[in-house]
Chains A and B, each alone.
Chain A
Amino acid sequence: MMYDQTRRKPEKFLGVITAGSLAKGVEARIRTLTPLEKIQTGQFIAVECEGVRFFGLLTDVTLGATSDSVLLDPPYPDDTGSSLLREVLHGVYTYGNAHIQPSLSLQNGEDQPRPVRSVPSHFAPVFIAEEADFEQVFGQENIAENGHKFAVGQPLDMDIDVCLDLERFVERSNGIFGKSGTGKSVLTRLILSGLIRSNTCSNLVFDMHNEYGSVTKGEYSGQQIKGLRDLFGSRVMVYAVRDRRPGDKNREQRATVADGDIVIGMNHIDVEDILLLRNELQLNATAAESAYILQNKFGDRWMETLLNMDGEALKEFCETNGANSNSITALKRKLGAIERMPFVEKNLRSLRVIDDMVAALAAGRHVIVQFGGQDDLLSYMLVANIITRSIHKKYKELTERYKRTQQAQDEPRRVMITIEEAHKFLTPEVAGQTIFGTIAREMRKYYVTLLVVDQRPSSIDSEVLSQIGTRIVALINDERDIDAVFTGVSGSAGLKTVLASLDSRQQALLLGHASPMPVVIRTRPFDEIFYRAITHGQSSLPAFVRPTNGNGHADTEGDDNRESFEEWMKKQDEAQIEKDKADLFG
């Protein structure tokens, strides 16, 4: 597209390029008459050069003066003629410099902007971006037309959509960061809605606080916020981790209706799962060794066997296997906390629910694991780790089969796993060992990626952080967290000032793989308008039934209690047809 200077509005002119470098960003001298107070950081900027258009982000504004004598003898408000002097000095002796971080360039005649590899030349005119620029860079939302551009918000000073490329989004692991109360949950819900609607990948959500599945109350507005299950019907399956033991009716009633309950047998708990809980269980360094000795000896049933041992048996075991009896005793005492968890059973033949879940994911459904009454960190981490481990195993097999056969129908369906409080799984101490660390580092190849939701990114292993593709960052103040968010991002110095100047609510900085360039957005509101837009033109799906094979379990338990979304939709359609008939034929 040929650049036509007359098409730019003169009031959008900001200044001209005067200095800079590709690594550190470029400086633009702000035009004489633009009041500095009107220029905000985080604005999207277009620079027009001969045959090339650059796009960038305004990261800073500095005050400058051509000579020190002006600053040594400034016009004070009560001096005679000071207003005239101030007026004529502005823009000549005293001026503003805009710091711009260029990120994209559009060559004359090309459609798609590319990452910037050059700098604009001296005195190239700089403009505040207009609607057309946003459209060119971010594209238009086409999610309802089976596309993968999803509008996540709008720029600060304009009413135009900023779109995320969901296809690119799911190619890598991603992060949503922000202080507590800055809208991480809303952002997560928004992104998940987009992913589910566009059908770019299957989602597995570990929903620690029951926020995503069903209707919740907004923290600030006090309004009812629809859950993903309400929006997308049986595309989204809800599994619950809850107390099913008889006699505890209260808890059972309080928990939400679900497609299945998660029950875990002790024989499915690995030493690795226990090690992840090292901090929560206060295990010492030798516990790992002891646990491995037990596992070598008793296999799957190591935990059950250990918990059943009395003093004598313990002593005997230690003597014959060379284990430290103090350590084993401590391990036994601490594992008691896991034994007491209501969803843990002594011995289960198979992890039927989890297998169902994995099958549903592979079939293109989305799964939310709700922790309802069991939202303590210990249960959350244990369950998340075990489920993820099964998925990891399953997907490794699927991918290897696909590599062998190279048949299109064998290509595994992409899965994105959403974890909250991610730093608990990804601290430098455990990230090397846990399944989440592995996924963050290499599972991209195996069609599994993470969506890390966290308020303390500095606690996450830097190796994991550096692999994160797209970052959506709400306000963060802590220096270390800010540094962590920008791990592996080039030219981050300018972005830090932008991040620090975000509002505490409904604003976020978007950067990375799925966003062509860093941009500050007002988050799209999660309201009735959004519900209508996101569900528009969506076809319905029958409830998921796992194909019976081998052990033959088709679990639809829990579904009978509710009218499924499709049934509701069907009824609505029928009612509409009846109404139309009545209108037509009297």
Chain B
Amino acid sequence: MTESFLSTRNLFPTETPAKPAELNPTEPTVGEVVETSLTGFMAHTYKLDEPPPFGGLVRVRDRAGNNEIFGAVYHIATGGLDPGRRAATRGGGLPAKSDEQVYIDNPQLSRLLKTEFGVLVLGCSKVTSSGRRSFSYVFPDYPPPLHYSVTLCSDATLVAFTEDKSYLRAILEAPQVPAEELIAAILRRATRAREAAGRMFLVESLRYLARTLKQDYDRFKIIVEKCEGAQV
């Protein structure tokens, strides 16, 4: 798998000005790494039920602090913190009660439950000497460190990251990921973020996919159909 990642390596990394996460209100911190590996990681949200969206681009700094690891959210789940204790009904089924009332009546729930999300690693970035960020679509040298915070990227970063299309191939080849849905979700977000230039981006991205999926028209067609309506 690493081999194929290397083959799609971007020789001319796109560069955008780096913005320190702490000073950027459009890039909120959304969670913390709780389980990590080179290909992907799991994170818990700080607040119950406030995960980054499916297909959202997130990033984690590496231990040295210079490089950032980028990935896409492919899995979101909420359940009991203790694997032995599953959630049970608490509403009582009374029609007068609203669903939100359950949380008000049981304030302990926010401590017993947790929201987790899975991230597929798609690439990493380096801040160059000129202070610009350059992306490369290969695995980082080391996995993101445990307990480091996860930041949801802004539209500008999403646009810059999706400029090169090689990340799409990484998604297609990732195991246990709903690849078609994830690709469509990322493309829809990136298309919207580009506003007027979105259509052009969508066509180019799909063409890139088509070249990768030459032998699998049916799979390709599903992705195109899921992208429909993403245009501004």
Contacts and interface: CB of A to CB of B under 8 A. Distances in A.
B203 A92 contact: no
Contacts of B218: 69
Given A89-B210, A92-B210, A69 B224 contact: no
Contacts of A66: 214-215
Interface in B210-231: 210-211, 214-215, 217-218, 220-221, 224-225, 227-228, 231
B210 A93 contact: yes
A80 B231 CA distance: 14
B172 to A, nearest CB: 15
Nearest to A91: B207
Interface in A47-102: 66-67, 69-70, 73, 80-81, 84-85, 87-89, 91-93
Interface string B47-71: 0000000000000000000000000
Contact of B206 (A32, A70, A73, A88): A88
A92 B211 contact: yes
B217 A88 contact: no
B186 interface: no
Contacts of B228: 80-81, 84
B224 A81 contact: yes
B202 interface: yes
A336 B215 CA distance: 80
A428 to B, nearest CB: 54
Nearest to B231: A84
Nearest to A92: B210
Contacts of B227: 84
B209 to A, nearest CB: 8
Contacts, number: 41
B202 A84 contact: yes
Contacts of B210: 88-89, 92-93
A92 B221 contact: no
Contacts of B202: 84
Nearest to B226: A81
Contacts of A73: 217, 221
Contacts of B211: 92
A93 B218 CA distance: 12
Given A81-B224, A81-B225, A81-B228, A88 B203 contact: yes
A69 B217 contact: yes
Given A80-B228, A81-B224, A81-B225, A87 B214 contact: no
A93 B219 CA distance: 13
Contact of A84 (B214, B215, B217, B224): B224
A253 B206 CA distance: 80
B221 A85 contact: yes
A87 B225 CA distance: 13
B169 to A, nearest CB: 15
Nearest to A83: B228
Interface residues of A, number: 16
Contacts of A32: 207
Given A67-B214, A69-B218, A84 B203 contact: yes
Nearest to A79: B225
B84 to A, nearest CB: 47
Interface in B180-204: 202-203
A81 B225 CA distance: 6
B224 A67 contact: no
A516 B215 CA distance: 43
A334 B144 CA distance: 109
Contacts of A69: 217-218
A70 B217 contact: yes
Interface centre among B214, B218, B224, by most chain A C-beta atoms within 10 angstroms, is B224
Contacts of A89: 210
Contacts of A88: 203, 206-207, 210, 224
B184 to A, nearest CB: 12
Contacts of A85: 221, 224
Contacts of A92: 207, 210-211, 214
Nearest to B204: A88
B203 A87 contact: yes
A93 to B, nearest CB: 6
A88 B225 CA distance: 12
Nearest to B227: A84
Nearest to A88: B206
Contacts of B206: 84, 88
B168 to A, nearest CB: 13
Nearest to B221: A85
Interface in A247-300: none
A493 B215 CA distance: 33
Nearest to A69: B217
A67 B207 CA distance: 15
Contacts of A80: 225, 228
A85 B223 CA distance: 10
A92 B213 CA distance: 10
A84 B214 CA distance: 17
Contacts of B220: 93
A81 B229 CA distance: 8
A73 B217 CA distance: 10
A310 to B, nearest CB: 92
Contacts of B217: 67, 69-70, 73, 93
9 contacts: A69-B218, A84-B227, A85-B221, A88-B224, A91-B207, A92-B210, A92-B214, A93-B210, A93-B217
Interface pairs A-B: 10 shortest CB-CB: A81-B228, A92-B210, A88-B206, A69-B217, A66-B214, A70-B217, A67-B217, A85-B224, A88-B207, A92-B211
Interface of B: 202-203, 206-207, 210-211, 214-215, 217-218, 220-221, 224-225, 227-228, 231
Interface of A: 32, 66-67, 69-70, 73, 80-81, 84-85, 87-89, 91-93
Given A84-B227, A88-B206, A88-B224, 9 more contacts: A32-B207, A73-B217, A73-B221, A80-B225, A81-B224, A84-B203, A85-B221, A91-B207, A93-B217
